[in-house]
Homo-oligomer: A and B are copies of this chain.
Amino acid sequence: MVAITHVGTYLPEKKVSNLEFLEKFETDESFIRNKIGVVSRARKEKEEKASDLCIKAYENLNSKTQIQVADIECCVVVTQNPDFNIPHTSAIVHGAIGLPETCACFDISLGCSGYVYGLSVISAFMQANGMSKGLLFTADPYSDIIDENDKNTALIFGDGATVTLLEQNQPGLVPLGFDFGSKGKGYKNLINEEKLFMNGRAVFNFTAATVPISVNKLLDKLDLTKEDIDRWYLHQGSKYIVDTISNRLGLDQEKVVFDMYEYGNTVSSSIPLLLSKDIETIKTGQKIGLSGFGVGLSWASMVLQKMNS
């Protein structure tokens, strides 16, 4: 079985405070804290690209557990802001960190549901191809595509990246099952032509209606109840959406992790950022519920369980 064993992360030190924009956007601190849930946004340097953020997340991973690069058999990058459209960003990361020629590389294009999808894709790919160790990166530097004058997007997104080490037959977090879905007819509600456009109300309504159904469907399929889940990592889209989903599902608020005040919505990196902070404290047998949702429109839910081998 393929398990998550370690998570490395990168958040730029530079921050942009939303409190400086109260007047510009005719808003107040309560709205910033209690609805958006983003007080400051992590901001990369202008010239930094997705691969640069991935490499910094990898350095963090390497400081937590020493990686033997020669052992890595696949490298997958989830991004919708690649360095270039050609080649894939995973090729650039592959070269930069010196992965071996035998390492399979590809990118997955998905937004906020990308980490959950990515975990399913990489673990199935590793299992089918008999691979022992793989890296799943997430990096979506939205600061490159945000219109700083657009109230719908300017106060929400932060830059960041993560890398998850997956290993066969090691103690770690093992996927128990997934639920996926798509509403392609709604794709124009979240789109990047010149700059990012988001119909905030439409995306919120879609999420609030869809995600609770997905989570309940998955729990039924796995023959679990909400009470069996020890912790919930919902995509950190905004405080309001996390609160709404957890209220609709009737989740125990103490189990619902919220942590984006200091860096913002980091798209596919939001869930692994939560996981990286907690991973050492998850006890054998405990179960974690994850759900990502957004661009596409797309959603994906899963349950992980800490296992000893």
User: Does A186 lie at the interface of the complex (its beta carbon under 8 Å from any beta carbon of B)?
Assistant: yes
Minimum Cβ distance to chain B for residue A294 (Å) = 9
Of A86-94, A163-171, A251-259, A283-291, the one with at least 4 CB within 8 A of chain B: A86-94
Contacts of A87 in B (CB 8 A): 80, 111, 187, 190-191, 295-298
Q: Are A129 and B86 in contact (CB under 8 A)?
A: no
Contacts of A180 in B (CB 8 A): 74, 102-104, 129
* Chain A 186-226 interface 0/1 with B at a Cβ cutoff of 8 Å (1 = within): 11001111001000000000000000000000000000000
A127 vs B121: C-alpha distance in the bound complex, in angstroms? 11
User: Does A39 lie at the interface of the complex (its beta carbon under 8 Å from any beta carbon of B)?
Assistant: no
Q: Which of A74, A92, A102, A125 has the most CB of B within 10 A?
A: A125
User: Does A108 lie at the interface of the complex (its beta carbon under 8 Å from any beta carbon of B)?
Assistant: yes
Closest to A118 in B: B106
A193 vs B85: C-alpha distance in the bound complex, in angstroms? 8
Q: Count this chain's copies in the assembly.
A: 2
Contacts of A178 in B (CB 8 A): 129
Identify which of residues 68-113 in chain A touch chain B, using a CB-to-CB cut-off of 8 Å. 74-75, 80-82, 84-96, 99, 101-111
Minimum Cβ distance to chain B for residue A30 (Å) = 30
Q: Are B184 and A102 in contact (CB under 8 A)?
A: no
A126 vs B60: C-alpha distance in the bound complex, in angstroms? 33
A81 vs B84: C-alpha distance in the bound complex, in angstroms? 10
Q: Are B191 and A86 in contact (CB under 8 A)?
A: yes
Q: Are B181 and A101 in contact (CB under 8 A)?
A: yes
User: Does A182 lie at the interface of the complex (its beta carbon under 8 Å from any beta carbon of B)?
Assistant: yes
Q: Are B110 and A184 in contact (CB under 8 A)?
A: no
A82: which of B85, B103, B190, B300 is its contact (CB, 8 Å)?
B85
